[in-house]
Amino acid sequence: MSLLMERIIMQRAFSVLFVVTMAVLLAGCMTIYDGKRQTIKIKTEPSEAMIIVEEAKTKAIIATDSSPMEIDLERKHSYHIKISKEGYQPTIVGIWRQTNNVVWINLGLLPFHPPGTGLALVSALFDHMSGAIWDLAPDDINVKLEAIEPKKETPKP
């Protein structure tokens, strides 16, 4: 076999080895890449509004604070943000989970997982259980509160 043929075979073998290695290393990559939690920034105009963060399904209160605030929320839930301030109309904003774009990278790598190992299934289950397959949106909330106009008294005849 010529030296040129040996180099071509080695380059192809290295390419295949690289792709297989990357597929194995990226198993469960959403948990590694994005993590289980996401930071949400909440600002209001005017500031110092009362904020209550509750989990949408169970209505469990996760946090209460005044604006502006930042909070780290688990990606696997959706949330309601209740905003109120005296003299202003109360507002509720939803934060919803949506599919993380890294899911598509994992799906694209499925054919490169070593067959029969179940590695693809294990990584997908791990990412799903950790909640890393989700993104929360919006992650930057800016709310302008509407002032409540005082009731005008009508003169009595």
Tens digit of each residue's pLDDT (9 = 90 or more) over 72-119: 999 999 999 999 999 999 999 999 999 887 777 766 666 666 666 566
Please report, rounded to a whole number, the percentage of residues in the chain having pLDDT higher than 70. Answer: 75
Residues 24 and 49: their CA atoms lie apart, in Å, by 48
Residue type, position 9, single letter: I
Among 34-48, 51-65, 93-107, where is mean pLDDT lowest?
93-107
2: DSSP letter: -
Output the six-digit token pair for 1. 């076999």
Q: Which residues contact 37 (CB under 8 A, 6 or more apart)?
A: 72, 73, 74, 75
Q: What is the DSSP letter of 132?
A: T
Domains of the chain: 3-144 (2.60.40.10)
Q: What pLDDT is attached to residue 113?
A: 64
What pTM did the predictor assign?
Answer: 0.70
